[in-house]
Each structure stands twice: as C-alpha cells, then as structure tokens.
Chains A and B, each alone.
Chain A
Amino acid sequence: MARYLGGKLGGGLVSLFMVAVLGFFLFRVMPGDPVRTMTHGAPVTAQQIAVLRERLGLDQPLWKQFLDFLGNLLRGDLGTSYTYSRPVGELILNRIGPTVLLVGTATAIAVLLGLWMGSRAAWRHGEAFDKTSTSIALTLWSVPTFWLGLIVLMAFGVGVGPIPGLFPVGGISSPDTPPELLPQVLDVAHHLVLPTLTMVAVIYAEYLMVMRSSLLEEMGEDYLTTARAKGLREDLVRRRHAVPNALLPTVTLIFLRLGLVVAGAITVETVFSWPGLGLLTYEALRVPDLPLLQGIFIVLAGSVVVMNVLADLVYRVLDPRVRES
C-alpha cells in the first residue's frame, strides 16, 4: 500500500514539476510584447515603457527569469500581475471561491442527474425514456455554451413577453443587499441559478452517457442473473449490484472533469459576468498578462494532476481488483 501510494504521489510530484517548467516556457514563446500591448492606445513615453519593462522583469535574460520564477514558485509566490499590479496568488485565491461554487454546484447536480438518468436509460434500454433522455442530453451537449447561456439569460433573466425575468442577468451578488448573512446567501443563490442551469444542461450528458454504457455492459453479466435467482427484486438488483459496478468508470470521469472543469467555466462565467477564475483567465488572455496566465495555468494543470492521483487512490478503494494487482 505504501509503495503504491508513494509511486502515485511521486509521479504526481514529477508531473507538477513538468507543469512548472512548461508553464514558464510556454508563456515565453507566445508572441507579443506585453508592455506594448498594455500601453497601446495610451500616451506613454519611451521612459515609461522602459520603467514598465524593468518592473515586470522583462529586461532580464531568460535563464535568470526562469531561476527567479522557480525560486518564487517554491516559496508559493506566483509573481505580480501586469494589469492589476497585485500578487497573482492573491488574485487567483480571490476568484477561486466563486468558480468552485459555480462549478461545484453544477457538477454535483449534473453528476446526480446524469447518473440517475443514465442508469434508468440503460435499465430500460431501447424504451421511450432511454431514447428521449439520451437525445435531449446529446442535443444540449452539442449546443454552444455561449449561445445556450444567452438564451437562458434572455428567457429567465430578462423575461419573455408578459413573463418578467426572475433572476439577475449577471454578477455573483447585488451591491445593495442587506449585510446580514441570510439575505447575502439568498442573493448569491439567486445569482447562482442561471449560470448553474446553463452549465448543468451542457455537462450532464457526459455522465449520462458513461453511466448508461457502463451499466449496459454490466447487464449481461452472470452475477446479475445470480442476484435475480436469489429472488432479489429488480430494483435492488439494479441498485445494489449493477450500479455500484457500473460506477467505476464514472468515478474516474468525475475526478478528471473536476480538474478540467474550471476551464470549461470560462464561457459560462463570461456570459453571466461571474467573477471567477474563468473570467480572470479570459481577461488575462486578452492583454496577455503573462504572470497571471502562468499562475492560472499552473493552478489548473496542478489541479488536474492532483485530481488524477486522487482518482487513482479512490479507484483503489472502490475496486478490490486494483488493490490486488
């Protein structure tokens, strides 16, 4: 067990280091002079440009920048953002909460919905429920998120015809909310509805399809016939025997998705002006704000690595076969 754990963690650490190296050089080969992009259109003197370049460390040779970067990274310092003149770590920390809230809520709902519908669809494979639920899910999955978000925004945010808009069209909270906890929580929940709805609509199909196909694979297995032969009711056969086995591939998927999903939130956050990591990425890309992009890249890639290791470990807990091998 210790060896397994050590191997997995060691592999994770190596991956994290590679992420750091890649993160540094990737953003150095990107074309464009950030100082010039930053100041384009603003009256600046040559001296101002030189000062900016020096302050951003762009006047140093590449190897020196890299050593500085590695040293700072080990101390947990991700550098200073060009555009906000603030530490990157602080910026990311401030934005990660709203993103985790949005992505987490949406993923939780999508997982529950997807697993439930997927297992139902597989169990009644070929029936009307299967056909309609899969086709609706696949349609929503293939719809552009941006477009779907705008439709949701117009229908439920602005209102259609005589029906008034029920939800806010953007942001995470209203500035004029009473400072007490309950109105604040209600306010955030109120703002959370439309972006979550959009995100769930787009992503639940994936869980549905994986659950459906993996349950379909299990359905012909002998152990289910045994279970039925024991006289178990159909419902219990599905819930106690078939679904737990079919869950395994889905667990991996959930963990991998959790690592990646922040990136997937970019469009939703943009449509609903949700002040999260996705929006920060979008803004950083437009400048481009190298330290900020680099910091986001390291955090995102790092979370994928961590989630991978976690998925491996959870898989081991869930599936005895992995433990033995």
Chain B
Amino acid sequence: MSRRFAVLWAVLLVGLLAPMPATAQGDGARQDGATLRIGLQQQIDSLNPFLGYTVPSSDIFRSIYPTLTTYSPDDFSVMPELAESWEPSPDRLTWTFRIRPGVKWSDGQPVTAHDAAYTFKRMMTDPAASTANGNVVENFEAVTAPDDSTLVIRTKTPQATMLAIDAPIVPEHVWSKVADVATFANDQMPVVGSGPFTLTGYRAEQDVTLTANPEFWRGAPKVAGLRFIQFKNSDAAVQALRKGDVDVVQKLTPAQFDALAGQPGIQQVRGQGRRFFELSLNPGAANSENQPIGTGHPALKDVRVRQAIDQGIDRKVLVGRVLGGYGQEGGGYLPPIFSDYQWTPPQPRTFDPAAANRKLDEAGYARGADGIRRTPQGEPLNFNLVLHGSRSEDTQVGEFVKRWLADLGIGVELQPVSDNQLNDRTTSADYDMVISGWAANPDPDYVLRLQTCASRPGPNGGGNPDTFLCDQQYDDLYHRQLGEFDQAKRVDLVKQAQARFYDQAAGLILWYQNSLEAYRADRYSGFSLQPKTDGVIVAQQGYWGYYGAQPTDKALNGSGTDYTSVAWVLGGVVMLVGVVVALVVVRRRATADTRE
C-alpha cells in the first residue's frame, strides 16, 4: 500500500515539476553584476499601469514609465521629468508642456508628446483605463499634441495641482493595439518603457525583475537591475535580510527594527511616514442632501465635548508606548514629511484632564450618580469606539483612550471589528468614535478633500468620507487653495484649512508613524532618501532611492546560489535516509532469521 503510494507520488511530483521552468521566466533574469533586491510585503496587483494601484505596483511603474513631472528627492518640490518646462495660459485653463527631446522607449522609438496625449486621452475616454489614476484627468477637458514636443492640456476649471501629474505615460505604438485595458496583463517581457529600469521578468506572488536601462536620459543607473521579492510575513523578510537574501526591507515593526540594531553589515533607516493616525469623532453625520445618517451620539455634535476629549488624550504616551517612540505626536492634518504644507497648532490642546473636566462641566454635561456624565437631555455619555480588530496598535490606543476618558466621566465601549466592517460602519456613520488614517501625497489636495461637504455619501451610498465634517469655512478654504496658483498663498490657505479642521476637533490626529526600513550597507550605499532628511528608500514619489543605489565590491563580486553544494546537501540527505532504511531492513531480516 505505502510503496504503491510512494511510486504514485513520485510520478505526480515529476509531472508537477516539469512545467516549472516554463512558468519561470528565465528571460533577462540572469544578470551579471549587482542586482538590488528589495523585500516587498504587499502584493503587486497588476503590471498594467492603468489598473495597478497598490504601493509596490506604483513603485514599479515609477521605475519603468516616464511621467510628465516628478518630485524632488530633497523636499518633494515639483521637478521637470519628461516635460522640460511648462506654461499656463493667462486664464489658467490651458497648460502647454514642452517634452524633452531625445528620450527613447526601450524598443528604440522616440518618446513624444503624442504618447502623453494618447495616455491621458485613453484615461479620459476608456473607463477601465481610469481605474488607477483617473483622478488625475478628472478635470481635463481636452488633451492635444500639436507636434512631437508640445503637449497642450485644457482643464475645465483652474487647478493648482496641474504640476502634480505623475501618472505613468505609456507608448502609443504598443498600447493602441490593446483593445481591452481591463483584461490586459501587460506581462509580455520585456515590457516597453523608458524609465531608469526596464521590466524584464515577473513571476506572480514571487518576484519582479527590472533591468537597468543604459539609454535612460538621466544616465544609466549604477546597479545592474532591481528585483522585488515578495514576502508574506515580515519576520521572514527580516530573516532574509540578515541572511543576505535581500538588500532592502521595509515596513518593519518597532521590535523588528530594534532587533536589527548593531547587526554587522546592516544599516537602519528611520524615515518619516506619510500617514496620519486619526481618532474620528462623529460630529453628527449627514449625507450630501443634509439628511442626518448613522448612529452618532448627540453629545458629539457639541464641539466643546470633542475638544475636551482631545484634551483628555496624551499623545506623548501613545507615541512612546504604542509606537515604541518611532513616530511623532500628531497636531496638524498633514504629516511633517511634507514640510511645505505642514501646520502645527500654535496653541495645541495638550493633555490636561483637569481642564477637560472643567470644560465639560461648563458646557453642562454634569456627572450622574454613577460618575458618568449626562447630556442636558439626560443621556449618558457612553461612546462606542470602533477599531480594526486585526491591528494591535488600534487595540492599544483603544485601551488607553478608554482609561483616559473614564477620568473625564465618559464611558467607552471598545468594538474591535474586521477591516470591512469598519469601512462599512464609517461609510454609514454607524459609530461614535472610530480609528482612521490616510496616507498623504506631496500635493495635499486629495486628503484635504476628504473633509469637505462634497465627500459625504449620497443618499444611495458612495462618497469617500472621513470625519463627516461639513463646515462652510473649511470648504471655502479648500476651494480657494485648489484655485490658487501662487504657491506661497496656496500654502497659507492649506494651513488655514488645517487650522479650521483642528478647531472643529472632529478628527483628532494622534500621531505620524515612522516608516522603518533597513538595508545591507555592506553591499549597497548611496540611496537617495526622500525627503533628504529622515526620508525613506522604498515607495518614494519617484525612482530616486533605487536610482542612486551604488553597489559595493562585495555586491559586484557576490555570487548566487551554488547548485553543486545544493545537490551535495540534498544528495547527502537522500543517502542518509537510504542508509537508515537499509539498516532497518537488514536488522529486521536478521532478527527474523534468528527467530526462525
């Protein structure tokens, strides 16, 4: 029975292995010199730049496709990329971009304004092509290319974010043959691009291989290529770094980051994060028709209650205890990594339970016999706090907040739910307090828009609300910054909008978490961090981190796996098993003989 099973299995095994080499794309995978290997912990959803929207996918698109403009590695300021220069018309509705001459696609064809025009037009007319970056062209009215080096974009309304167009531009001569963008995988290697790297290999759920583009207009990268290696478990990624199987890892937990301190050959990178972590208080949610929705506690409509809660929270303790110190205390809406727009409250509501208690007393929320405060209508201040059950930092914050608010005479019931349930409950405003957070972009428009009245859901759902704040003053400031072309004035308006948001205390920004990375300093150096001070290597707005990487002698001369030794080890194991089996058989025969 068992022997037959084994034979059957051996046959099956060989059958399964046979197609392996075919699925593994060998093309361009073998490279001489130094390939920078980056451990990824998030999935690559699509290689099609019109569809892929996860962070690693965008990271790859930035390395292989040209963009009109890019962001400086030093401070996120807008820099020319494919567009050398640009000029808005006096009415600020027409933008003329001058395309850099002499840039080539990896198949030798020139990159022209027609490619850019084709890309944007396709995004405007083909719904599938607007999946990933449709927001870029939302306000476009017409895009034309009068000649190879001129691109003209006309917008419906004046828009200050016109220089933040970093959507990947694709070659028209390749993509005009793609009938259905929604089902096009874009995995025919090598993929035609024109960035510092060319996409040459992809194995789903395993790795993506990019080869340096020697023709890149800024000059060839110093590494021979990049390889993004998928890890589904961050501990395994860290172990791979220690072993030297990857050169860069990201998204480390504070514990993992600390464990790498002082390891030979490993350098830690403590970068500023681009996310903010927020405690949203339901300010009396309504939909876009101003009909009240959800189950928010009426007391939270009172801005004094919201401000008192904010004053009862000790951000310093949260950053120290929950983040292990790897973060900054929250204040303004935008994280400090985008220093141009960042705003710090001049009079922050620092932790002061006594003041918070006084404020609640003055506002008429007196304590009942049980110590819980009551609204003037006699309703107890018992709030639910909805949090991501799968995230330990949410749970920890919940416990702290619960304890602090108890001191203010406010009861808190923690409700850990799944990510989906949380999304459902926030969209339908079915919460008193909820933990939220967003990643900000160098241009603040997108996250600022989340707090406008227009972001509230319609009567049939939809919308993309965050705190359900709907405040005329905030909305005015938001719209004025969007139409403001004087950078200094726009910055000022963005700061005013943040100040107004802070006053309303509907979204309490608790912290900005650091982005923790580590790399093999014995193999690579020279990564350009973005921003220059306290920046990160992976998932930049641009390709600077990988482009600047410089291999050391060790990386240049290092060799891959030695398959002779693998064969020896595996052969040895097989031999050992064989010997043991033989011994058992011999011994059994021997005892059988003596018994007979």
Binding site for B on A (CB under 8 A): 30-33, 36-52, 54-55, 80, 83-86, 94-95, 97, 100-101, 104-105, 108, 111-112, 115, 150, 153-154, 157-159, 165-166, 168-181, 183-190, 193, 233-235, 244, 247, 269-273, 275, 279-280, 282-283, 286, 288
**Contact present for A97 and B16 (CB under 8 Å):** yes
**Contact present for A186 and B135 (CB under 8 Å):** no
**Contact present for B418 and A32 (CB under 8 Å):** yes
Give the distance to chain A from B249, nearest Cβ to Cβ, in Å: 12
User: Considering the chains assembled together, what is the distance between the CA atoms of A322 and B423 in angstroms?
Assistant: 54
B258 touches A (CB below 8 Å): no
Give the distance to chain B from A121, nearest Cβ to Cβ, in Å: 16
User: Considering the chains assembled together, what is the distance between the CA atoms of A177 and B25 in angstroms?
Assistant: 11
User: Considering the chains assembled together, what is the distance between the CA atoms of A179 and B130 in angstroms?
Assistant: 38
B109 touches A (CB below 8 Å): no
Given contacts A48-B134, A170-B240, A183-B563, contact A273 B232 (CB under 8 A): yes
B345 touches A (CB below 8 Å): no
User: Considering the chains assembled together, what is the distance between the CA atoms of A249 and B125 in angstroms?
Assistant: 63
Number of residues on chain B facing chain A (CB within 8 A): 83
**Contact present for A153 and B227 (CB under 8 Å):** no
Set of chain B residues within 8 Å of A188, measured between Cβ atoms: 17, 20
Binding site for A on B (CB under 8 A): 1-2, 5-6, 9, 12-13, 16-17, 19-21, 23-24, 26, 29-31, 43, 45-46, 48, 51, 53, 127-128, 130-132, 134-135, 138, 182-183, 185, 201, 203-207, 209, 227, 229-233, 235-237, 239-240, 242-243, 245, 418-421, 423-424, 427, 438-439, 441, 446, 461-464, 560-561, 563, 566-567, 569-570, 588, 591-592, 595-596
Set of chain B residues within 8 Å of A181, measured between Cβ atoms: 21
**Contact present for A31 and B236 (CB under 8 Å):** no
Give the distance to chain A from B150, nearest Cβ to Cβ, in Å: 28
User: Considering the chains assembled together, what is the distance between the CA atoms of A33 and B425 in angstroms?
Assistant: 11
**Contact present for A184 and B21 (CB under 8 Å):** yes
**Contact present for A55 and B128 (CB under 8 Å):** yes
User: Considering the chains assembled together, what is the distance between the CA atoms of A187 and B17 in angstroms?
Assistant: 11
Given contacts A184-B21, A190-B570, A275-B205, contact A45 B138 (CB under 8 A): yes
**Contact present for A33 and B427 (CB under 8 Å):** yes
User: Considering the chains assembled together, what is the distance between the CA atoms of A175 and B235 in angstroms?
Assistant: 21
Given contacts A85-B51, A104-B12, A247-B1, contact A46 B462 (CB under 8 A): yes
Give the distance to chain A from B19, nearest Cβ to Cβ, in Å: 7
User: Considering the chains assembled together, what is the distance between the CA atoms of A324 and B561 in angstroms?
Assistant: 59
Using A41-B439, A51-B127, A85-B182 as known contacts, list a sample of 9 further A-B pairs with CB atoms less than 8 Å apart, ordered by residue number in A: A30-B420, A33-B461, A37-B419, A43-B135, A47-B134, A108-B9, A168-B245, A172-B206, A235-B591
Set of chain B residues within 8 Å of A83, measured between Cβ atoms: 43, 45
Give the distance to chain A from B168, nearest Cβ to Cβ, in Å: 15
**Contact present for A112 and B6 (CB under 8 Å):** yes
User: Considering the chains assembled together, what is the distance between the CA atoms of A178 and B230 in angstroms?
Assistant: 21
Listed by A's residue number, 17 A-B pairs whose Cβ atoms lie within 8 Å are: A41-B438, A43-B135, A45-B138, A48-B130, A55-B128, A85-B182, A105-B9, A158-B239, A168-B245, A170-B231, A170-B245, A177-B563, A184-B21, A187-B566, A190-B570, A233-B592, A283-B43
User: Considering the chains assembled together, what is the distance between the CA atoms of A7 and B21 in angstroms?
Assistant: 43
